[in-house]
Each structure stands twice: as structure tokens, then as C-alpha cells.
Amino acid sequence: MATQTSPPSIDPVPSIARLAATKVGTALDPGSASCVGVLVDGDDGPVIGLDLDRERLVAAGFDGAMGTALVVPSGADPTLVAVGVGPAAEVDAAAVRTAAAAFARAASGHAELAIGLGGVPGLAAAVGAQAAVEGALLARYAYDPLRSTTSRTALTGLTIVSDDEGAAAGAERGRALATATALARDLANTPHSHMTASILGDVAVAVGAERGLDVEVFDEAALVEMGCGGLLGVNRGSTEPPRMIKLTYRPEGEPTGHLAFVGKGIMYDSGGLALKPGDEVHAQMKNDMSGAAAILAAMAELADVGCPSQVTGFLMCTDNMPSGTALALGDVITMRGGTTVEVTNTDAEGRLVMADALVLATEDRVDAIVDIATLTGACMRALGTQVAGVIGNDQGLVDQVRRAAEAVDEPVWQLPLEPRYRRELDSSVADLRNLGGANAGALTAGLFLAEFVGDTPWAHVDIAGTAQSEGEAGWQTAGCTGFGARLLVALAEGFAP
């Protein structure tokens, strides 16, 4: 009989609760903030908001370069921090987000912060306020639920100092997007011992009840009845039961479109019988459910940003373990819809679980499908750890993904859906094999997924490289990054069928 890990004694929706407790707003002055960030460009003009001229700042080692920070010595309260945003002509939302993150770290001992936007007069107040809130909140993120004690100072208040009415809406939107990323980080950072497929199902139910999502959790018996051979096959080696979690967001009024998200939710990836090496990368494989985490977190914020489209999310959740019942190399499984797949590598399991969901999404007759997954090391080798890959069968949809990625500073690079590599997926005993040749692994993975979407517009986002950060960089913190959550919010909000 399958066993289940007992739910952890931590808040199942910690990020929502934590960021909701952070007072975010706008005002004409910093109020009770004990530390104020002053944005300073890297040009030679006057400095707004500080009683120091440019020459004295430069003498102190501060030149206004993007992401630099200087605590200004003073005996008065509040403490002032000069924060660089780079050349004035190049200041955009990404620069403000990075600057706000640098300020929040420089003020890590302060619980209440304020940021003045007077140093970026060329940027719309709503855009600047949103970026500043995202940068500050995400830079101060820490995964603490399993620590017995912590010495860090929690951020309890953030004020955007602005006299523009648009700043308030921008600040609230920034909070919503930061909450999405923080929740995705929490879910992916939680160890497998505390976040199994069934526990994630419980978390989804709790999030759905709080955020207005319809949630259906399908257990093993239901998956057998539905013929989801990919998810069931990968789960064969595990003592933990699989779950498919279906989330539905419906806007007020008539939807302008219907978008489906499909997420890889491998709660822990040992590689199955194709066992991974016992190194640090193996220990990080709790993050192999980052795609599913990004979808759950993004959909929790769709109502707050007023998304006009209906969105359905499919989270395909199981771990991938070796055992006497695990998939063997050479086994053939039957996917939802009847396609047979020869499993030539059990460590290419993500595409197997997602294939079932791609078929289910097409059966829902959605207008488009976007899947997101920590899918291939090949994509990470090609694009590194700062840029995700995107591939698809519809250029219009891929372009929508690219625009959303640019808007939230979660960059993607388009890879080709090259049909000349399709023959590498041919099998001598089944319709397909789950792995191509030694080269172009990100492309053959995309071609495999494309087999299950038919004519439905589809795009695939590979976040294998971007899901994990070795250290602090801009608004990113060390550990699981939550990459993709804000991208999906922006995509859904602006989706055009």
C-alpha cells in the first residue's frame, strides 16, 4: 500500500501570508520608514533627494552605476541610501527593479523602508512603483519555514514616495507579482520530505480557496481511468502516489480567451533507473517541480491583476524514483490519447508527464497552451542560468511569451522547432521514443512535446537553467528563483487568442 508523508508543520501558503503582512503603499513622505532609498542616475547632473553633490558621491566611491548602493553617513533619521540606476537615458523598469533590490539588501537591518522615485523622472510612476516594490520584496526573500531560529530582519513596511496617483496602482501590482514569485520560490525550495505530490495537492486546495481558483485533484485511480500513462509510468518506482492538479481561473464577465498552462511537477528527480550522479545537482532536484510551482503561484494572482482571460492549469506531479517496480529502459507506455512511447532514458521523464496534460488541454479546446518545465540540461548548456528557452508551433504565441518575459525581466530566447531532428524520436517498437540523439536535446524535447498538441497554438518554456541561482544577483536570491511566475501572470493578463 502506498504511503504518504505527513504534511509539514509549516504554513501551506507561507508567501501569501508573509507578503500580505508587509505593508506596501505610497505617500508624499517616507512616514515611519527608518531607511530611505534615493535613486541616483549615473550622469553628471544634480542629485535629487540628497544633501550631497555628485562630486562628493564620486569621492565616496559611488558613481550611480546600476545596482550600486552607498549608505550616506548622517546622524539624523531616517538613514539615507544612494542607489544607482545607471545612465538616465537607459533607465527602465528592469533598472529600477535592480536598484530597489540593491537598496533592500543594503538596508537589510531595517524593517520599514521607503524608496523615492524622484531620481527617475522619465519613467511612468506606475511602472517605477511596480518595479521598485518587486525588487525590494524579492531581494529580501528568505526561505525560513524549516529553520528553528533566524537572525534576519523581516521587511514589514515599504513606502513608495511619490506624488503621482499612478504610483499606488503600480505598487499594488508589484506586490501581486512579487507574491507570485515568492510563493513559487517557497514551493520549489521546500524539500521533498516536506513537499510530495499529495502535499502539493493539499497546498493547491488551500491556495485555491483563498485566491478564488477552482481546484480539482486527481488521484491514482482517476489517472488510471483517464489513461494518463505518462504520469503513471514515471510514478511506478515511487512509494508516493501521483497527483494531477487542475486549476481554473475565471474572470468576471465574458472571458476574452482561454489559455492553458501545463507544468512539470517532478517533486524529486533521482533519474529513476537512469540514476543521476550523487552530487550537488542531484541534491537540488527538489526544484524539478518549479514549472508546476510557477503556474500555481501565477494563477493565485490573476484575480488581483484583473486578468480578462480564462486560464486552466495542469500540474503533473510525482517523484521519479528507482525501485523494483520502476520504469525500465526500453519499456513502452501508452499516453493519454493512445500514443505509445518507448522509454529509452528514465531521466527524460518530464516530457512524459506533461504529454498527458497537453492532450487533456487540447481536449478542453483551449485557444492556446503554454507549458513550463525544468526540462533539459541541453537548454542550460546553450543559454546558461540567466535566460530560459522558448520553442513553439505558433510564432504569434511565442512572441506573446517573449513580450511578457521582457516586461518582467525574466528573459527568454527562442529556439527552433526544427523538423529535421524529428526522425531522432522514431522508435522501432512504438510510435515515439522519449529521447533523441546526443545533440540538440532541447530541440528534440520540444519536438516530442509538439506531438501531443495537434494544431493548437503551443509554446514551451524550458527553465532548467533559470530555476536555480547559486547566489544573489539583482532581485534574485540564492536557491530556487521562482522564474516564470511573473512571466505567466503577464502573459495571461495580456493574452490575445
Q: Which residues are catalytic?
A: 276, 351
**Cα separation of 17 and 200, whole Å?**
17
Q: Looking up cell 510525482, which residue turns up?
A: 318
Determine the Cα–Cα distance for residues 390 and 313; give it in Å rounded to an integer.
Answer: 19
Q: Of the candidates 427, 407, 413, 422, which has an alpha carbon nearest to the alpha carbon of residue 487?
A: 407
Which cell numbers hold the place of 114?
521607503
In whole angstroms, what is the distance from residue 344 CA to residue 293 CA? 28
C-alpha cell at 156: 514589514
CA distances from 200 to 17, 205, 373, 467 (A): 17, 9, 16, 18
Angle ∠(489,492,497) on CA atoms, nearest 5: 165
Those residues with Cβ within 8 angstroms of residue 363's Cβ, 6 or more apart along the chain or in another chain: none
Q: Are 186 and 289 in contact (CB under 8 A)?
A: no
User: Rounded to an integer, what distance in angstroms lies between the CA atom of residue 316 and that of residue 226?
Assistant: 13
Tell me the C-alpha distance between 366 and 382, whole Å: 31
Q: Which amino acid is at 318?
A: T
CA dihedral (251, 257, 258, 262) positive or negative: negative
Do 83 and 95 meet the contact criterion of CB atoms below 8 Å apart? Answer: no
